[in-house]
Structure 1
């Protein structure tokens, strides 16, 4: 039987396609929108259309997200350049879906810069001494990502323990992460929110992908999400999709639209259900949104 939710998802798919720059009868317009990448906006959108899209997303969010993440918890991690407006929208939609958002953590430039790799690896190894996930990782960013996972993720939502606190403190003192308030609980999932692709960020994007892949081994996994330009050359979403963890880490490349932030939360629910994928623009192999 065709349900009301089915209608909402179908209409939302059309809206998201339009928001991503796909015009009926004229093919994908992703490349035209990408000409603005690096300016903080990935698509040139008529303000009136953007207002309609935001209003539509607000009216349909309840039906699309209700109860999708009940019993799950999510830590939101951001990279330099991520839009705080987009992050705030994702947090609100996660909560609307029933998730406990344990907190927000910013990954600093220092943890993402290759020049500081050895320092970050040393912090990870010393602060997580004896943890098999960290010591057993095969490379530097595997160890750094495993330490971050031990600090913020678990198979079930549980209170932060001594080891997690020690890792967080060491990473904070080393200027590798920052948080206004450290989460009281370990989360079952992580959303890593990226910014737009900019010149010179390709190396950092590769690091983001490596860290996400390492963190994905803990809890129920990771979603890497960003605006449309993040799935073009140099972007973090593209780095994940082109890398070794493409089949296990979910990605979304439409956080620069209200509908896209809903898709991000739907992707989190799909990841929690053991069905990772890539959603968003026409560059996404899974289509506009999870089924």
Structure 2
């Protein structure tokens, strides 16, 4: 990663070199002024090289740290999620690579992955809200009830949560035909896609935030719609963790919206370093914490509880 100061130094060096060329070319100035410009230009070139060297060294150290963490991760996470199952839900704009790398670590921790659900842009289209609400009513299983104050997105989130996760291990495994019909209905209408067998239900949920914080004028409304899903999942699952990068924890980001939502406190955990090896490890710890009824906000963003759960949750032996 090229340091910002490197760009500044480069720009200054270019302008000084330009000035030097003009002075020499015009032959208007000689002697001390030209020598000073030459010395200054030479010093800036040296500073520029030093910044490049420091940036390269930092990148090498970061890569080294990542390789070490990746190397020990299988041993560290082994058995931590044994007997659990996990479903992945991606918000529009989520990083597919983050999902793939996180799924690999979750599998190494012993969990079964039921499937992957990806919300589409249409899900957040305010012009499709009436259609989404009507479809939610049409597909609603008889066992699902909505609150009188629930918004259309709250209702859809509750319905999706009811077919994706469960707190009962006995309900995990065989695909529920009713759950399959709900997911198929939303998929056919273009509100989501899925792969795997998410209708077999999972006991834990990982929600992946958009990779970039929204700068759109509708950012608050969109984040409110997205936050409804982890909130609903937390009511049906044994644990829900929302993950993303540092940008997702900044203003306009989904993780920031979750952390600012009072209803999420004590119910949904967040990790804003899931694009890094350490963050993926933290996510597994957060899932383990969730099975013990504990939550937290972890990473480097404002207001986090720490870099990871402390103390690190112990491995619970499953029969």
TM bucket, shorter chain: 0.7 to 0.9
- Picking from 204, 211, 217, the partner of 1:189 is 204
Give a deviation string over 1:227-254, Cα, whole Å, max 9, x none: 0111111100011111122321111111
**Aligned counterparts of 1:48 and 1:61: Cα–Cα separation in 2:** 20
Provide closer, same or farther for how the CA distance between residues 274 and 114 of structure 1 changes in structure 2, counting only shifts above 3 A.
farther
The answer for the alignment partner of 2:6 in structure 1 is none
2:302 corresponds to 1:283? yes
Deviation string, structure 1 residues 128-168 (Cα, Å, up to 9, x no partner): 14233347773322211111112211122232212101101
Give 3-state SS (helix, strand or coil) of 1:251's partner: strand
2:128 pairs with 1:110: no
Corresponding residue to 1:163 among 155, 175, 178: 178
- Structure 1 residue 198 corresponds to structure 2 residue 210: no
Q: Mean Cα displacement is larger for which, 67-76 or 44-53?
A: 44-53
Q: Note if contact 1:281-1:288 (Cα within 8 Å) is conserved in structure 2.
A: yes
Q: Which residue of 2 aligns with 1:254?
A: 273
Residue 286 of structure 2: aligned partner: 267
What residue in structure 1 maps to residue 80 of structure 2?
68
Do residues 233 (structure 1) and 251 (structure 2) align?
A: yes
After superposition, the C-alpha distances for 1:194-231 in whole angstroms (9 at most, x for unaligned) are 12213224432221111211121102132111001111
| Other-structure match for 1:210 | 228
Offset of 1:261 from its aligned partner?
1.3
Q: Deviations over 1:249-274 (max 9, x none)?
A: 11111112111111112111111221
Q: CA deviation at 1:283?
A: 1.9
Equivalenced residue count is 248
Match of 2:264 among 241, 245, 269: 245
Q: CA deviation at 1:117?
A: 2.4
Contact 2:268–2:295 (8 Å) recurs in 1: yes
User: What are the Cα deviations for residues 16-49 of structure 1, in whole angstroms up to 9, with x where unaligned?
Assistant: xxxxxxxxxxxxxxxxxxxxxxxxxxxx994313
Instruction: Give the aligned partner of residue 192 of structure 2.
Output: 177
Q: Report which stretch shifted further, 180-189 or 262-271.
A: 180-189
Distance 1:73 1:84, change over 3 A: same
Which has the larger share of helix? 2
CA distance in 2: counterparts of 1:262 and 1:45, whole angstroms: 24
Q: Note if contact 2:298-2:304 (Cα within 8 Å) is conserved in structure 1.
A: yes
TM-score (norm 2): 0.72
Q: Is the 8 A contact 2:98 2:274 kept in 1?
A: yes
Structure 2, unmatched stretches of 5+, are 1-55, 311-319
Q: Deviations over 1:58-117 (max 9, x none)?
A: 122134312111110000111122112211111011011111111111011122333322
What root-mean-square deviation, in Å, do the aligned CA atoms of Structure 1 and Structure 2 show? 2.1
Larger radius of gyration: 2
Q: Which has the higher contact order (CA 8 A, sep 6+)?
A: 1
Please give the residue correspondences for 1:9-20 in structure 2 after superposition, counting only pairs within 5 Å.
none
Which whole-Å CA distance do the structure 2 matches of 1:45 and 1:163 have between them?
55
1:263–1:107 Cα change, 3 Å: same
